[in-house]
Amino acid sequence: MKKKDLVLWFKDVRREDVPLVGGKCANLGELFGRVGVPVPNGFAISAYAYRLFLEKTGAQEKIQALCANVNMADIESLETASRKVRTYIEDLSMPEDIQKAILKAYRELCRQIGKKSVAVAVRSSATAEDLPGASFAGQQDTYLNVGEKTLLAAVQRCWSSLFTPRAIVYRKEKGFSDTDVLISVAVQEMVFSVASGVMFTLEPVTGDRDKIVINASWGLGEAIVSGQVTPDEYVVEKGTFKILEKQISKKSKEIVSDRKGSTKWVAVPKSKQEEPALGDDAIVRLAKYGVEIENHYGVAQDIEWAVDEDGKIFILQARPETVYTAGAEEKIEEGTGLVEGEILVRGLGVSPGKGSGRVKIILDVKD
């Protein structure tokens, strides 16, 4: 019975299973089993496993006590509570039955792939995540290039990341209590990507549904997410798959996997820094996958993808697009009182709106 399973394979998970495995895992199962786009194999450690962990360790009361008097307007209060809860969860001993279920599934994944040891990505999947109108995505942690020896610790760190300051505040703002949101964990075969990025099946700033926008950079996708790399941007016409625009950025560094079972920043060779991360054929193939996924769900999608060294494209996750949707009703006014000046830094817009004012250098989180 699914409700009491500690582990659920992607092939057995569907989008209606959000209460069991969270939004990320439910979408991965849907993509893997119903849409038919290429998704790395893996399994979900269920929300029930997390609940059982809390019950068997008696952690719930302690967590509630640590969060009881948090001042949401005080960053130091938030950070202190978050640190205490996370350390507490990570230091607990995982019950043996949960350990065994996770390691058994990992070894089965290795068997299916045909390797003794497989590097995996370990990603959080909150049960209120990736729902239309709310975006818990990105508020919990992801661990890459994880092996069997560090898998259980990575899972517990994912569980504890339900209590980052950002996640605590967001739950409060959206009316979720700390006990409303459980957490599942996706354990997925790692794609050692030469290029990766995100794709929107609409233009996220204007909401133009006839366009697909792809951001791409070298290495692992966390480089784009971190904001430390300005990616290439490709715009594709949805009906014809004609490439309408290419904006190639200088990509001087990338995140790659290292031999220690972790990731690291490295310099991109100068010959590649201003080369496009994707060729035209890959851009079109990726856009077609985007349309397949959007057609299946019936709403615009925000999709993470990667290309391996053999040129194969993988879809890492898909969720309802919330960037444009959240701001669609806002009227953007023309700027006034603007003056000409030297451009010091550029970036790619990821949401509607304009802003102006003095640049303030923040040296401390209290600022």
Q: How confident is the model at residue 247 (pLDDT cuts 50, 70, 90)?
A: very high
Which residue in the block uniquely carries the two structure tokens 């849907």? 30
The helix (run of H) or strand (run of E) holding residue 72 is none
Burial of 129 (0-12, 13-18, 19+ CB in 10 A): buried
Per-residue DSSP letter, 32: I
Q: Is the pLDDT of residue 60 over 60?
A: yes
Domain residue spans in the chain?
2-189, 193-327
- The pLDDT of residue 343 is above 50: yes
For residue 156, count other CB atoms closer than 10 A to its CB: 20
* 354: pLDDT strictly greater than 70: no
Tell me if domain 2-189 and domain 193-327 are identical in fold: no
Give dist(CA 151, CA 288) in Å, integer.
34
pLDDT > 50? residue 65: yes
Q: What rounded mean pLDDT belongs to the chain?
A: 87
Q: What is the per-residue pLDDT for 262?
A: 78
Do 145 and 258 contact (CB within 8 A), yes or no? yes
Per-residue confidence (pLDDT) for residue 137, from 0 to 100:
46
CA distance 259 to 257: 7
Higher pLDDT, 95 or 259: 95
Is the pTM value of this prediction over 0.85? no
pLDDT value at residue 224? 86
84 pLDDT higher than 50: yes
Please name the residues in contact with 242: beta carbons below 8 A apart, sequence gap of 6 or more. 236
Residue 147 has pLDDT above 80, yes or no: yes
292 Cα distance to chain centroid: 20
- pLDDT-above-70 percentage for the chain: 84
| Residue with more model confidence, 28 or 130 | 28
Confidence of residue 77 (pLDDT cuts 50, 70, 90): very high
Query: What distance lies between CA 143 and its chain's CA centroid?
Result: 11
Candidates 3.30.470.20, 1.10.1060.10, 3.40.190.10, 3.40.630.20; correct CATH number of 193-327?
3.30.470.20
**Homologous superfamily (CATH) for 2-189:** ATP-grasp fold, A domain (3.30.1490.20)
